[in-house]
């Protein structure tokens, strides 16, 4: 079994600005069996911080952090994907009580990943700024450390 650590950044877009929020508390494990592995990663929602504390507090309310304190990602990965410049992995994201599969792009030998989170698919009421809702699509990026 290998440990997985790293960080995750989300970027939400308002019409008039973008806000980036980062967590450095991503943790997980990878169990390798032959040429494949199963991984499970979790990130506490409260660990996401931006430079805008009002935004952070509002997002915590919107995602109902008291009911759903953790976002999780799990799936299978080929060893070859972890040694490739670019590959795609199907990841089951459990967020806000809703599970949805996403194609996640891995790069740099599996050390970075990204995908676009669909807020409405996870039954999130999009927050607004001056009456303008954030975009439904949230860019997610990750730095991954695979430790044996």
- Residues in a beta bridge with 100: 93
DSSP, collapsed to helix, strand or coil, labels residue 57 as helix
Q: What value does the mean pLDDT take over residues 140-148?
A: 89
Any idea what the CATH number is for the domain that residue 49 is in?
A: 2.40.128.110
Q: Which domain holds residue 123?
A: 2-147
Instruction: Give the pLDDT of residue 21.
Output: 96
Taking phi over 0 as left and psi of -120 to 50 as alpha, with beta for the rest, 129 belongs to beta
* Contact predicate 43/71, CB 8 Å: yes
DSSP, collapsed to helix, strand or coil, labels residue 122 as helix
Instruction: Give the pLDDT of residue 130.
Output: 74
Residues 91-130: tens digit of each pLDDT: 999 999 999 999 999 999 889 999 999 999 999 988 777 7
Structure tokens at 47: 């660990």
Structure tokens at 79: 């060893």
Residues 1-47: tens digit of each pLDDT: 789 999 999 998 877 788 999 999 999 999 989 999 999 999 999 99
The candidate with the shortest Cα–Cα distance to 99, out of 66, 67, 123, is 123
Instruction: Give the pLDDT of residue 147.
Output: 79
The candidate with the shortest Cα–Cα distance to 94, out of 113, 57, 121, is 121
Number of domains forming the structure of the chain: 1
């Amino acid at each position: 079994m290998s440990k997985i650590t790293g960080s995750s950044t989300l970027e939400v877009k308002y019409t008039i600005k973008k806000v980036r929020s980062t967590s450095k508390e991503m943790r997980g494990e990878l169990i390798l069996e032959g040429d494949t592995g199963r991984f499970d990663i979790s990130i506490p929602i409260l660990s996401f911080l931006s430079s805008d504390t009002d935004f952070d507090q509002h997002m915590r309310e919107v995602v109902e952090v008291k009911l759903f304190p953790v976002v999780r990602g799990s799936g299978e990965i080929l060893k070859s994907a972890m040694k490739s410049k670019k590959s795609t992995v199907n990841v089951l994201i459990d967020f806000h009580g809703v599970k949805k599969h996403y194609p996640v792009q891995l790069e740099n030998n599996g050390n970075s990943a990204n995908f676009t989170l669909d807020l409405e698919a996870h039954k999130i009421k999009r927050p607004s700024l001056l009456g303008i809702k954030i975009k439904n699509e949230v860019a997610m990026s990750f730095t991954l450390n695979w430790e044996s």
